[in-house]
Structure 1
Amino acid sequence: VPADAEDSIMCDFFARNAVHAAMAGKTGLVIGLLHDIFIHVPIELLVSQKKRLDLNGLIWRAVLAATGQTL
């Protein structure tokens, strides 16, 4: 699925926030979006817990439907 204008704008916002963080000397983080606010999320926080996706669940089936993939 090609990116639309909204996807392009969102990617631009993420990229700009990542550059601002890097220029401020911040490392070891990723840019996140929480309640329409861009935030810095430490990588350690992201990898501290494992999440599992139920391959028979609604979320995974929605991903498959949206991407046109098969089971």
Structure 2
Amino acid sequence: PTYMIRAIPSNASDNVYCTLLAQGAVHGAMAGYSGFTVGPVNSRHAYIPIA
């Protein structure tokens, strides 16, 4: 896997964004979805199929 190394510490905006992604992933998993990731599409969070 590829990991991005940050040169600066995270800020409040990063924390909010990570929280939204994590909540979206948990909601998708609890809804029974698999093989997906969560990300922004047209300024909205969406489930994106991996395969």
Category of TM-score, reference length = shorter chain: 0.7 to 0.9
1:20 alignment partner in structure 2: 27
Please report how far the alpha carbon of residue 7 of structure 1 lies from its aligned counterpart in structure 2 after TM superposition. Answer: 0.3
Hey, what's the Cα distance between the residues in 1 that align with 2:17 and 2:43?
11
Cα deviation per residue 1:24-52 (whole Å; 9 max; x = unaligned)?
Answer: 010000001012211111101xxxxxxxx
- Counterpart code for 1:39: A
> Which is worse superposed, 3-12 or 33-42?
33-42
The structure where strand makes up a greater share of residues is 2
Q: What count of residue pairs does the alignment treat as equivalent?
A: 44
Normalised by the length of structure 1, the TM-score is 0.59
**Over alpha carbons, which structure has the higher Rg?**
1
% identical equivalent positions: 36
2:36 alignment partner in structure 1: 29
The structure where helix makes up a greater share of residues is 1
Question: Unpaired runs of 5+ in structure 1?
Answer: 45-71
1:9 alignment partner in structure 2: 16
Question: Unpaired runs of 5+ in structure 2?
Answer: 1-7
Normalised by the length of structure 2, the TM-score is 0.81
